[in-house]
Structure formats: structure tokens, C-alpha cells
Amino acid sequence: QRDKEQQPRHDTNSCCKSANTSSTLRPATSGSLGLDLAAAVTVTLMSSKPEKVPTGIKGPITINGRPVGALLLGRSSISLLGLFVLPGVIDADYSSEIQVMVHTPFPPARIKQGQRIAQLVLLEQLTKKLTPHSQAARGDRGFGSSGEAALLTLNLHERPTYTVQVTYKKEQISLRGLLDAGADSSIISPSSWPNHWPLYATSSTVSGVGGLALAQRSPLVTITIEKQSVQTTVSVVTLPPTVQCLIGRDVLTQLEVML
């Protein structure tokens, strides 16, 4: 807690100002291997999914007038607070703003402007004399430069399906449900959700179902499968056309269903 509240030291505080080059980066002490990076703005993490945090520092990273690469790593004191930095590589020819990918398994979490969250461990570029795949410099191409995302798909023919009864108050509907222990939460398609049953807005997102979608949340309902029942809430978000509902780990573990 003490580390969370302390203010950035003078020699690292400059990286949080409006400077746009790496020349403002300084090691914390004379024996430091890394250069501290701080958040340029205040960011609140509302979910456990990774978020990009700007640092206000623009590449390339130069030491004594010479561009170098770096490993972007987290700080142990930040990890102890439940904030984790996804490691990255900053190329010697990267010329855009350095951003830090962070996530927390315990949302919500707030990162204050000026809080030191990551560090750059400098690396000499040993690949200079090797022929690159492309003659173009990295430039400002950072996230997404590896190409299009490869998304996992769900093989509907390899997952068991069951009749699922969903009860709200005294009303009940019967759906054909796909059981998938790889899904964190259970989902019902909007087309199968009765129009007169309430839904609640939420900031939660569901990934892997046609990309990333903002889900609505149901009230407390009773899910019944094979005469076993559990009370829970479900997400209501678009599913593939042939799927009315998907039953995930949140329900399967309570029903002690093994797939």
C-alpha cells in the first residue's frame, strides 16, 4: 500500500509530462537496469481484459544519440497490487507513442496519472546486419503490426447439446443449449429471450462470439438441465444462428457437469 501511495521520484517524474520523446527517460538510481514508465493519464480498468495505457513517451528510444530497442516489463511493486503488465518488445525503429498493456484480475482498478507502472530494459540491436523481411521501418506501426487477429471458433458439432429450461418468476421457456466448459459465462441469444422479460445494461463484454460484444445482463433466473437446477444470471448477446443458448462454466460447475 505504501508503494501505491508514494509519489514518483523526481528523476522519473519527467516521463509523465508533456514531453514526446524518449530523451526525458531516466534510470531511478545509478544502478538501475531499467527506465521507469508512468501513466500519462488516469485510467480506470472496469474489467479484466487488457487495456492500453499511454505513457506520453514517443520512440525511438535513444541513448547517447543512438536508437536502441527495449523489453517492456512490469514493476514488481505494481504486481503486488494486483496490476499486471503484459511484456512487449519496443523496436529500435519504432517512432510512435509507447503504450503499456495492463490487466487486473480484480476490477475495478484505477491507475493514477504519473503512477509508475512499467519499465524499459534497454537492448542493443544485434540484427542490424541481417536482411529483414521488409525494408520498411517499423515507424508508428505498433499494436496490430503482426497482421489480422486469429480468433478462436467454436465447432458446434463437437459440443453436447441439451434441453435447457429457463425460469423467470412463474414463466418458463425451453431452449436447445450448447454446453461448453471453455466458456466463462452462460449466454442466451436475444432472439430467444422473451421480450417482456427485463434486461439490464452492463459494462461487461463477451469475447469470442463474433468478436467483442457489449452484453446485457438478465435478472436472476433458474436454469434447469436434466432435472438439476441452479439460480444465476446470464448474459444476453448475439450467438451463431443455430444456437439458442450457451451454458458455460458458471452453471456447469454448480451442476457438477463433467464434459
Q: Binning pLDDT at 50, 70 and 90, where does residue 255 land? A: confident
- Provide the pLDDT for residue 144: 54
Taking alpha carbons only, the member of 131, 129, 128 closest to residue 69 is: 128
ω before 60 within 30° of 0 (cis)?
A: yes
- Provide the pLDDT for residue 229: 92
Would the pTM count as exceeding 0.75?
no
> Would you name the residues annotated as active-site residues?
180
Angle at the Cα of 190 (from 185 to 195), degrees rounded to 5? 125
Residues 6+ apart with CB under 8 A from 208: 151, 152, 154, 183
Residue 224 clears pLDDT 70, i.e. is over it: yes
Q: From the CB of residue 188, how many other CB atoms can be counted at a distance below 10 Å?
A: 27
Q: How large is the average pLDDT for residues 197-222?
A: 74
> What is the C-alpha to C-alpha distance for residues 121 and 100, in angstroms, rounded to an integer?
14
Percentage with pLDDT > 90 across the chain: 39
DSSP per-residue letters across 221-254: EEEEETTEEEEE--EE----TT-SEEE-HHHHHH
Q: Binning pLDDT at 50, 70 and 90, where does residue 3 land? A: very low
Structural domains in the chain, sorted by start: 2-123 (2.70.40.10), 156-255 (2.40.70.10)
Residue 169 clears pLDDT 90, i.e. is over it: yes
Residues 6+ apart with CB under 8 A from 33: 27, 121
> What is the C-alpha to C-alpha distance for residues 144 and 130, in angstroms, rounded to an integer?
24
61 three-class SS: strand
Residue 147 clears pLDDT 50, i.e. is over it: yes
Gyration radius (Cα) of the chain, Å? 24
Q: How large is the average pLDDT for residues 99-109?
A: 88
- Provide the pLDDT for residue 8: 39
